[in-house]
């Protein structure tokens, strides 16, 4: 036991019990006792300092030994977010990240005299409406052309501006959009732009500008452009059964979702799906929410089974009340999944 600890234990009985035996014999009286107590305290403090130094030396020895063995005290490790990865750079403020993700935009083209839908993949962007307009002005892809889609928007038309305020998208197009064409083609191209922009949630109307100016009519088309237009202004351009999903070339899983609007007798029509071998893998009679003069919506999902993955054909049609023949036929090539 160390010196300091033995004296500390012996001092519990009274103020003089921890003195050495000789001190008590030689020093009697209050003064000699006080002097002895002072000497005792000086020795006790020195003992504590020696003990503290001994402890510190011991701790340092342990740390040195541990460091030599590779087991030193742990250091704070930077969090992953604070450690730049290889090739990364740091800056005082966060920098925008480049995403490789893609998003789908709906581009509205023409199938004969009526609207048809195409789905285009574009890089993820906040300016999604502008991206959709850029795709529309680029025209149909080769696959879409093979599927019967075309565009009445004149080649070379440029997007000069696009803004959205409230529920109105204001689109400013170059003069090429109105350079030539018939009233029917003008109505078609106006419908293509209107449907492309009003597909986005919250946008219900489109205000057209040409070279920054609003015109009342375009190429004799029977529609006023002095005010924003909406989808219902183009009912004459819509097919009786208007499919917005799927679009040509879409890959479907082991079930197919069919979405759109229809204006057919008693709201009833049929859906067929055939695989690459021509086998009928889906045959359904469906109904829109309304019909017979009032356009209704439909949204159906049906499972199907085929052993042939790859090209398939979705066909929607109505049956003539006169002779039962197929009318209002729309065919869309899709990619099926074997199941």
Give the model confidence (pLDDT) of 176-235 as tens digits. Answer: 999 888 999 999 999 999 999 999 999 999 999 999 999 999 999 999 999 999 999 999
**CA 220 to CA 223: how far, in whole Å?**
8
Cβ proximity of 230 and 204 under 8 Å: yes
Q: Class for domain 241-336, per CATH?
A: mainly beta
93 pLDDT tier (thresholds 50, 70, 90): very low
What is the per-residue burial (b if ≥16 Cβ within 10 Å, else e) of 102-113? eeebbbbbbbee
Give the model confidence (pLDDT) of 279-329 as tens digits. Answer: 999 999 999 999 999 999 999 999 999 999 999 999 999 999 999 999 999
pLDDT at 221: 94
Cβ proximity of 206 and 193 under 8 Å: yes
pLDDT at 264: 96
Q: Is the pLDDT score of 14 beyond 50?
A: no
Q: Is the pLDDT score of 8 beyond 50?
A: no
**Three-class DSSP labels, the chain:** CCHHHHHHHHHHHCCCCCCCHHHHHHCCHHHHHHHHHHHHHHHHHHHHHHHHHHHHHHHHHHHHHHHHCCCCCCCCCCCHHHCCCCCCCCCCCCCCCCCCCEEEEEEEEEECCEEEEEEEEEECCCCHHHHHHHHHHHCCCHHHHHCCEECCCCCCCCEEEEEEECCEEEEEECHHHHCCCCHHHHHHHHHHHHHHHHCCCCCCEEEEEECCECCCCCCCCCCCCCCCECHHHHHHHCCCEEEEECCCCCECCCEEEEEEEECCHHHEEEEEEECCCCCEEEEEEEECCCCCCCCEEEEEEEECCCCCCEEEEEEEEEECCCCCCEEEEEEEEEEECCC
- Who wins on pLDDT, 158 or 74? 158
pLDDT at 68: 38
pLDDT at 3: 39
pTM reported for the whole predicted model: 0.70
Number of C-beta neighbours around residue 205 at 10 A: 18
Angle at 77 between CA 73 and CA 81, to 5 degrees: 175
Domain boundaries, given as residue ranges, for the chain = 102-237, 241-336
pLDDT at 97: 38
Cβ proximity of 207 and 169 under 8 Å: yes
Q: Is the pLDDT score of 131 beyond 50?
A: yes
As a whole-number percent, the residues of the chain with pLDDT over 70 amount to 71
Q: Is the pLDDT score of 11 beyond 50?
A: no
* Strand-pair partners of 243: 260
């Amino acid at each position: 036991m160390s010196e300091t600890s033995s004296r500390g234990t012996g001092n519990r009985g009274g103020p003089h019990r921890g003195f050495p035996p000789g001190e008590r014999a030689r020093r009697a009286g209050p003064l000699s006792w006080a002097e002895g107590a002072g000497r005792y305290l000086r020795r006790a403090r020195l003992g504590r300092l020696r003990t503290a130094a001994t402890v510190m030396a011991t701790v340092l020895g342990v740390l040195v030994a541990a460091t030599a063995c590779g087991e030193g005290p742990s250091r704070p490790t930077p969090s992953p977010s604070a450690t730049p990865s290889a090739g990364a750079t740091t800056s005082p403020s966060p920098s925008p990240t480049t995403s490789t993700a893609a998003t789908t935009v709906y581009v509205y083209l023409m199938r004969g005299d009526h609207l048809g839908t195409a789905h285009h993949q574009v890089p993820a962007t906040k300016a999604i409406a502008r991206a959709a307009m850029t795709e529309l002005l680029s025209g149909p892809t080769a696959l879409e052309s093979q599927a019967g889609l075309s565009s009445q928007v004149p080649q070379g038309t440029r997007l000069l501006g696009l803004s959205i305020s409230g529920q109105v998208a204001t689109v400013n197009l170059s003069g090429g959009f109105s350079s030539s064409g018939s009233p029917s083609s003008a109505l078609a191209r106006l419908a293509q732009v209107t449907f492309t922009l009003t597909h986005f949630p919250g946008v219900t109307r489109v205000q057209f500008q040409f070279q920054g100016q609003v015109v009342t009519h375009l190429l004799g088309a029977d529609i006023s452009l002095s005010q924003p237009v909406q989808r219902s202004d183009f009912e004459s351009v819509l097919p009786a059964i208007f499919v917005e999903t799927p679009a040509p070339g879409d890959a479907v899983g082991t079930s197919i979702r069919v979405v759109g609007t229809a204006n057919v007798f008693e709201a009833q029509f049929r859906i067929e799906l055939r695989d690459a071998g021509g086998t009928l893998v889906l045959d359904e009679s469906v109904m829109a929410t309304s019909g017979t003069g009032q356009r209704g919506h439909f949204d159906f999902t049906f499972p199907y089974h085929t052993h042939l993955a790859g090209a398939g054909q979705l066909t929607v049609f109505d049956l003539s009340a006169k002779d039962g023949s197929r009318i209002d036929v729309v065919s869309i090539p899709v990619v099926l999944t074997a199941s």
